[in-house]
Structures are given as structure tokens and as C-alpha cells.
Amino acid sequence: MLQKLNFKPGFDKQVTESGAESQWIDGDFVRFRYGLPEKIGGWSQLTSSNLTLPGVARAQHAFTSIAGEKYVAIGTSQGLFLYSNNRFYDISPLATAITGATFDANSGSATVTVNKTAHGLLNGRYVTFTAVTVPTGSGYATSAFTDNTFEVLNKTANSFDITMPSNSAGTTSGTGSATINPYEIVGPTFQTGGFGWGTSTWSASTWNTPRATTNVILDPGLWSLDNFGQILVATIGNSKTFTWDAGAASPTNNRATVMTGAPTKSRLTQVSDRDRHVFHFGTETTIGDTSTQDPMFIRFSNQEDFNTYQPTSTNTAGTFRVDKGNEIIGAVSGKDYTLVLTDTSAYVIQFVGPPFTFSVRQVGTNCGLIGQNALSYSDGKVFWMSGEGGFFVYDGTVKSIPCLVEDFVFTTNGDHIGINYTSNQLVYAEHNSLYTEINWFYPSANSTQIDRCVTYNYTENVWATSSLARTSYIDQGVFELPFATEYNKTGLPNFPIQGITNTYGASTYYEHEKGVDQVNSSGTTSIDAFIQSGDFDITNSNNIANLAGDGEFIMSVKRFIPDFQLLEGNSKITLLINDYPNNTASSSPLGPFTITSTTDKVNTRARGRLVALKIENDAVGETWRYGTFRLDAKPDGRR
């Protein structure tokens, strides 16, 4: 007798496979639309030369200049970059210049030694050169130094090496001259325990002193990015704030520069769009004195003036301090408010005008944010992942979101993968408005980098999990499709550093929801998607006449009839057969079964008490959207 199997949308990982009858329990690279599962869209590498960026990207922000030029700012652990017109541009800010360097060069070698007593630079730091006099007899043009950025290699206390674009024509020692311009330091590539080498503040004299033990966790290099009109506002986590003006002459030739008059050490910044103030969160109580940084202190600029922060009787600059929690973790702009989340609580900041400028009110407790970028605003609501476990939404009130994959994400009980709480600052959330989804990309319990994703479709109120690993993501809007970054810790970046190594890995930039495959410099590869149901007790679920009991009879499955709303290429269907819940399920003898657009029915010869359904694809050009599924089953005795 043919019986139709119906499944509820979304994953349910809170119950056993046997207890999840009529539900989906697992999958990868799938989403739900109108109650049905389908393979997600593909992604294709951006930039015409398939360039990759140095370090791991931790933030993105898209904006448009008054002239209509579209930009995405990308903050990585190594610098600040722009994407525009299918190209990358380096706008990384520079630190204090170091004058008085000379050069050593050897004939036939591209390695040049830069001499500067007590330069203080570390291996892997990036530098540019200005005011260059080329080393004597080297044959290098001045532009070989001034038009490139270099990585510091083989450093000693008084020298370091760089790799030139070509070999030196001669040998020289201590000749030429230059000013060294180091990149501003962003921070560690990963979030790690603060022990061993380098457990100190950046640029401190004790940086190279090893620590054997610690209870300190070093935050990764983070950025917060926003725009004040056509001016990019970029803050390095717990450091300085910089601006870059898209309206300047030849803007992509310019680097970001320090915001004047602003605090010099803030956890993050946010532009209040409606009223045009710039907020600095977790910032200094005394501007310019980094020792006064207070993780719960908030300072905001004068209206329409991000260079003025000292409050006076004639401006709207001001300060206040929130008091519930230990530190401000993140903030996001809503429709007419800014939502601020500490490690325990939620606050709403709203513009009210003179004389108070802003109102601040607490709207939630026991709902703290897990990481700076683990929140997203979409369709009038703010969604976030909590460090206390679970997910929350603010739509005028703070509410917990019921989640049927919660244990899978937050615990390691049984076969749950869990999350790495000591890498909490890596979590990155962003909405995909094309499918009304919020994606949280996070590091699993045994990983120090992002390797998992949990997705909430807030229109259909369903959850899914996947192995999609993206360290940053922006929704469509300024650009037609979403953009995201993937990190390879052993990858060798090819922009923009001369002689770069793979010390900090590389980030690849993708356009998502494009095609059905992965397309990058390595070619076109399949996105292998699958979805699997819980066990079906065929006897009971199909209401076969005169059969009593739940799982009383072993069933024989003679055939099935597949039905896809969309099928490009082939898909595979596997019937996973089991006699008892604790047994390991195995495929039916003739499976897995390849399904094409012309497949009418499939003969199975399957026999068992329980059956689960798995749908998948594993080849280039394949995509699918599930429809219905019918089994021809009959009783085959007791066991």
C-alpha cells in the first residue's frame, strides 16, 4: 500500500532519531522555504584576479558614496581593505613612522635587510617606506620601495629583512635611507589563552617575555565598521578609531587616518543614523588616556560632528555608563534606537533631543551577547546569540527564541558538536533577507576558528545547521547578492603585500546565492548537500489496517515514488533501515538510489522495523527542492 510520508520543516536535534518521527534531524547546506527543504545557493569568488586578503576577515560593511560608488569595507586581523568595482584596495591605517633606516643588499638576491636600531617591529608585521634613497649599486628604482608593502621577516633587535620584487644588481651595506611606516596592529588571528610568548599589551616592552600560565583570554583582532554619510568609521577592537572619506579626490589611493578629537581606546563604535551621532562603547572616561578605559562607559559625539566629544552647554556630546554586567559586548542600530548588549543585559538608547539628547533604559537581563558580532538587525527586530546559551530577539521587548537545535549548538552531550566558548568573540551573525534567515557562524567545541553555522528562518520559525564556515557576511542591499569571507589558516594571500608569507593565512571573498556550485581559483566544485529524517515506524505511521502496536511488525518496503519540486542533475535517496533504535542504521540493499527528472518509481527490497529518509547530491551542477515521498510497505512478521 502506498503511503505518503510527511515531514515538519526545520531540524529537531532535541530528541532521539527514533523519537523524531515526521521530522528532519540532520543535514548540511540546506534551507527551508514554504515548509520544504532545498539545497542552498552556490557561491563564486569575487575580484577579477581571484585575489585573497591577508589574515582572517572579522567585519564587513557596505556603503555608497554621494557620487554613487559602491564599497565594502573589510576588516581583517592584518588590515583594512575595500572592495569596489571587482577590485581590492588597501586602506589600512599606518602607525607612528620610524625614521633613519638604511639598507643592506646582496647581488642576485631579492632579500634586502633594513637596518634600524631598536625598531621594535615583530615578524609578520607589514610596513611601507617613504622618503627613500635607494641602496647604493642595488639597481632598484625608488618606486620598488615606495609602491609596495612588505612583510617584516627574520627580525633582530636592530634589523629585519624584506623581499623585493626583483633581485639586487649589486652588494652594499648600510647605504640608502628611508622612513619605515608600520601598519597599525589589529590583534591576534585567533582568540587564545594569554600565556607563552606575547602575553602582554601590544607594543609593550615585555611583549617578548614568555608566560607559562594564565587565566587571560586574548580577544582576536576585531573591527567595528559603519559609515557617517560617505565617510567610513572603522574602529580596531580596544584601540583607535579611523575614518576614510569616499568623497575625497582619488579616494582609493588614500589610507584611513585617525579620527581627530575622538577617544583613543574603545571596544567598538556605532553611528546613530537617525540623529547623526557617533557612539564609542567601552571607552575612555578621559579622552586620550587609554588607562581610563571603562568597559561599561559610553561616549557620544556632537550631532553632525564626529570630531567633538567633550560635552559643553552648546553641543550635544555626552557620556553615560550602563551598570548591569561586566562589559559591553556589542551594539546595533535598529529602526529608531541603538540596542546595546553587555555580557548579561540589554539596553535601548533612543534620541530624545535637548536637553538630555538620549534616553537609556534597560530592557532585558540574563540575555547577554556571546560576541561582538553575534547580533543582527532585520525586519524591525534584533536577533542575537547569548553567551548564557540560547537565542534572543528584541522587537520592543526581549524574548527568548525556542530552538530545536539548541543542545546541538551549546552542549557536547552525546553526539552534539557544541560551541567553543573560549573563542566566543569569533561568532558572526548576519541576516540573509532573500530568504528571511539569520545565520550565526561559530567555532565548534574543538575548533579555534569558525567551522559551523546555525540558521534561523524567522518567517517560518524553523532552524537548520550546517558546516558553512564564513568569518564575516553582509546581506544584499548595496550589492545585489550577499558577500562573505572564508578563511584558510594555511592559505597564502596574494594581495597586497610584497614577499608575503602564509603566517596569518588568507581570506577568500565570495558572492553568495549565485549558481549551485562553489567557484573559485581552484575551479568549480560541488556543494554536497543532504538532509535526513528521523526514524519512521512504518506500521503505526502508515495506519495499515488491523496492525496493532507501535513498531510491532517488521515491514517490507517494496518500492517508493520520489517527487521533487525542483531537480537539476541527479539526486540520491537512501532508505536507512533499522530494527531497533540503538542499532546502527544501514542502507537498503539496492541503495543509495540515483534519482533523475524522469524517475517514476524505485524498487527497494528494504526490510526493517524503522526507516529514515536521506536526500543528497554530490556532483557539480546539481540542485534540488524536495516535494513529497511515498512508500509501498507491508507487514513482514514479528521479531
In a domain, 204, yes or no: no
Look at residue 556 in the predicted model and tell me its pLDDT. Answer: 82
Domain of residue 583, CATH code: 2.60.120
Question: What's the rounded Cα separation, in Å, for the pair 286 and 24?
Answer: 55
Among the listed residues 154, 158, 178, 175, the one whose alpha carbon sits nearest the alpha carbon of residue 116: 158
CB contact at 8 A, 129 and 178: yes
Q: Classify residue 314 as left (phi > 0), alpha (psi -120 to 50) or beta.
A: alpha
The CA–CA distances, whole Å, from 90 to 53, 61, 549, 601 equal 10, 15, 69, 57
Judged by DSSP in three states, 404 sits in: coil
Question: What's the rounded Cα separation, in Å, for the pair 509 and 84?
Answer: 12
Judged by DSSP in three states, 327 sits in: coil
Judged by DSSP in three states, 108 sits in: coil
Question: What's the rounded Cα separation, in Å, for the pair 391 and 606?
Answer: 41
In a domain, 359, yes or no: no
Domain end call among 518, 538, 569: 518
* Structural domain count, the chain: 3
513 and 379 in a single domain? The answer is: yes
Cβ-based neighbours of 235, under 8 Å, separated by 6 or more: 223, 224, 225, 241, 242, 266, 268, 269, 280
The CA–CA distances, whole Å, from 369 to 188, 338, 418, 517, 613 equal 21, 15, 17, 34, 37
Look at residue 557 in the predicted model and tell me its pLDDT. Answer: 85
Residue environment code for 9-20, b if the CB has 16+ CB neighbours within 10 A, otherwise e: bbbbbbeebbeb
Look at residue 215 in the predicted model and tell me its pLDDT. Answer: 62
Give the DSSP per-residue string, 275-297.
TTEEEEES-BSSTT-GGGB-TTE
pTM: 0.94
CB contact at 8 A, 343 and 387: yes
Give the DSSP per-residue string, 186-218.
---SS-EES-BTT-S-TT-TTTT--BS--S-EE
565 and 466 in a single domain? The answer is: no
Which residues are bridge partners to 152 per DSSP?
A: none
Question: What's the rounded Cα separation, in Å, for the pair 375 and 268?
Answer: 14
Look at residue 549 in the predicted model and tell me its pLDDT. Answer: 46
Look at residue 195 in the predicted model and tell me its pLDDT. Answer: 54
Check residue 444 and report its DSSP letter.
Answer: B
Question: What's the rounded Cα separation, in Å, for the pair 413 and 406?
Answer: 12
In a domain, 193, yes or no: no
Look at residue 535 in the predicted model and tell me its pLDDT. Answer: 87
465 and 401 in a single domain? The answer is: yes
473 and 403 in a single domain? The answer is: yes
In a domain, 505, yes or no: yes
393 and 453 in a single domain? The answer is: yes
Domain end call among 470, 492, 518: 518
In a domain, 76, yes or no: no
594 and 507 in a single domain? The answer is: no
Look at residue 457 in the predicted model and tell me its pLDDT. Answer: 98
Look at residue 552 in the predicted model and tell me its pLDDT. Answer: 64
Domain of residue 119, CATH code: 2.40.30.20
In a domain, 112, yes or no: yes
CB contact at 8 A, 567 and 558: no
CB contact at 8 A, 382 and 330: no
Cβ-based neighbours of 518, under 8 Å, separated by 6 or more: 42, 43, 44, 524, 525, 526, 527
132 and 175 in a single domain? The answer is: yes
Look at residue 2 in the predicted model and tell me its pLDDT. Answer: 79
In a domain, 454, yes or no: yes
501 and 577 in a single domain? The answer is: no
Question: What's the rounded Cα separation, in Å, for the pair 17 and 138?
Answer: 70
Q: Classify residue 86 as left (phi > 0), alpha (psi -120 to 50) or beta.
A: left
Instruction: Name the grid cell of 109.
Output: 638576491
Spell out, as residue ranges, where the chain has pLDDT lower than 50: 196-208, 540-549
In a domain, 500, yes or no: yes
486 and 576 in a single domain? The answer is: no
508 and 383 in a single domain? The answer is: yes
Per the structure, the complete domain to which residue 475 belongs is given by 371-518
Look at residue 396 in the predicted model and tell me its pLDDT. Answer: 95
492 and 395 in a single domain? The answer is: yes
Look at residue 545 in the predicted model and tell me its pLDDT. Answer: 45
551 and 513 in a single domain? The answer is: no
Look at residue 550 in the predicted model and tell me its pLDDT. Answer: 60
Domain end call among 518, 547, 577: 518
Residue with cell 559603519: 226
